[in-house]
Structure 1
Amino acid sequence: MKYRWDQGRLLYFQYNVLRDIASVFDSLEGISPNQDDNLFRRALENTTGMPFSPSSYKVWRNYKRVFECSMLGTTIGGNLFVSNVAKSIINSDFDVDSYLAEVIRRFRYPFPAFTETYKIDRPVYPFCAFIKFMISQRLNLDQNGFELKDFFQFVIGNNLRGTENLSEYAKLTRTNRSPIGDEKRQVREMLMFLGQMSIFKIINRKIYLDFTAEDLGLNNNFIDLASPIVTEISENREIDFTNITSTVAEDINVAVSSRENIHDNRFIEGKKRRVTHLKIERSPLLRKMYFKDNPHATCDMCSIDTKKRYPWTNNLLELHHILPLSASLSIEHHGTALVDVVPLCPNCHRAVHSYYRYWFRSRDFDDFVSKKQAIEVYQEAKTRVV
């Protein structure tokens, strides 16, 4: 079976963009995207800041697979249907981890965006298979860092379906399975999409599990993350899409105990998106990536050079994620991006989180409403440093 995904539109699968698309869908539910193409296009472009081109083709024709593979919506009887997954993104404490936990456990072949996939005998849950493979290799062989060919030769080549027990993945042998046609790019972009989750990082064309083997052994939720949400299959594309997206499962909290800190409690205040925010900031892989590219970094707020001030230390600077708390790190074609983080000394970092807490409370907000607002508030905090 050939693996399928949308290709060439990776930036549209970034969580921030998908959340904006979901809000447009919610406001326009019931319209005919094809008959109301101008309205649909303007709303999407104005809200997301992304082009939905070319104008010579209707938006739905060109971006249908983005909308459906991301499980935000489809058309039923020609009218826009908005999924419960999309409504959860905009109406609850969903963050990038919550969203991806929903999609990766539901996405299967056959899938409504790809009619040819309905020819297979039994369903395949590709993301679940990918994650089980990585977890198994990490637990049993202490291996981390997986290339695209590993997924073809171990997972796809062995016809894994994502429904097997984890023990089956420990027995895998490498096959000579190679991509068919454009399959290489499609699977690569599936992994890039998955790489937005806080517990994964993509570095130099490899995807890494961004947690320790100890974290993995102590937390069964990692396994739950790779357990498919099985839904009834219908050859009617519209019915099948609603089957796949009709309910929202119980949220999975993939805790990473090695990143917990006694000072976090006041900032978190029970909000899952703030927990994920801290998991991103405390990523040892992200830290390694950033300071390798920026070996002479100083605190972005007070300008202290901690290496010079405390020469007996290696690097006391921490990383601060400046996007909305619910957001992921940006994804680019080469891997996880570093443009969304800045280095801060521990004092300034704690002060910024304190300022965020003050700012949210004064406005009765749980999060920033946009990337622009998040950056503005960070700059506002920065200017108030004396």
Structure 2
Amino acid sequence: MSSSPHPLSPLRVALVGYGYAGKLFHAALIDATPGLLLHVIGSNRPDAVLADRPDAVVCAPEAAAVHREVDLVVIAAPNDRHAPLAEAALRAGKHVVVDKPFTVTLAEARHLAYAARETGRLLSVFQNRRWDSDFLAVQAVIASGAVGEAMHVEAHFDRYRPQVRARWREQAGQGTGIWFDLGPHLIDQALLLLGLPDAVSASFARQRPGAETADWAHVVLHHGERRTILHASMLVAGGAPRWIVHGTRGSFIKRGMDQQEAQLLAGMMPGAQGWGADADTGALIDGATSSASDVATPVGDQRAYYAAVRDAILGQRPNPVPPVQALAVMAVLEAAIAAAETGIAVVPDLTDTERTDWLAVRESTS
């Protein structure tokens, strides 16, 4: 088991997986976070890694997960590899960050949470979109009371990608498809805004020619008389509002998405001038007068996730996304799948203890 790192020494990081998420998000954000040093990369394509990072130690994913020279292991491998790689890292005494989805089943998620408790290691899930500008805008508006009690929250994660691409996320298999890809983000944000749902109803479809797995998802979370609608599609040209909130005093509409992914794709380094800036204002509509006013959008900064992970490992603040929150996301994700299969609303399969623990975390961070 690796020894606890000295606060003045950087935490050495192994990144397992160097595909889209690993290279674009994790590597860039780790590099931009003081106190973290990306030292080892686990990949089956070493030449591609070394072309980008000639100084990296490159080895097989399984070896990277247990590498003796690292303190923190980040799992960004295909979804069905998350659980075994993360458990191996925990058993080797490493702290672990897992990309979303946490696992491909709720049972696997519970097993990993148990392994983290047993080993005394930090286990966190990469819910980077908690620090997106659009979500921060919605969170602030609801918290301010400007719309009154939020009764209808609608979140869209829509794209226009009419061609099915040859990548594992769009191929038939466990943990693939749009709901496993984008659903965890939508669910996590929804739970932070309105809490755990009483029940979930859902519908999925394959709308593009040649689609092997769902590329359209429409999920409704039932919170008493309140509703959260989560929608994702690959056939939305021109975009749709990212967020719609209707409340007892008015409404809020935010059209544009956070720009950090686009900035990374354009080669911007996290923290550079303009990083996370979002010029798209939200519209707040007063219910009594129907008058609309612009609401400036906060700056997004996904670096905050890794800064919080670093500090949590050093014992300076709580885990930013603890396992109990990841369990809740997985329970809602599975409930939606069951609801789509049966055509009836399904109650998320969380124990009383898990619900109590989830509420305790929410209250401690609110």
Superposed pair shares fold, TM > 0.5 = no
Provide TM-score, normalisation by structure 1. Answer: 0.28
Larger helix fraction of residues: 1
TM-score, length-scaled by structure 2:
0.29
Q: Whose radius of gyration is greater, 1 or 2? A: 1
Between structures 1 and 2, the one with greater strand share: 2
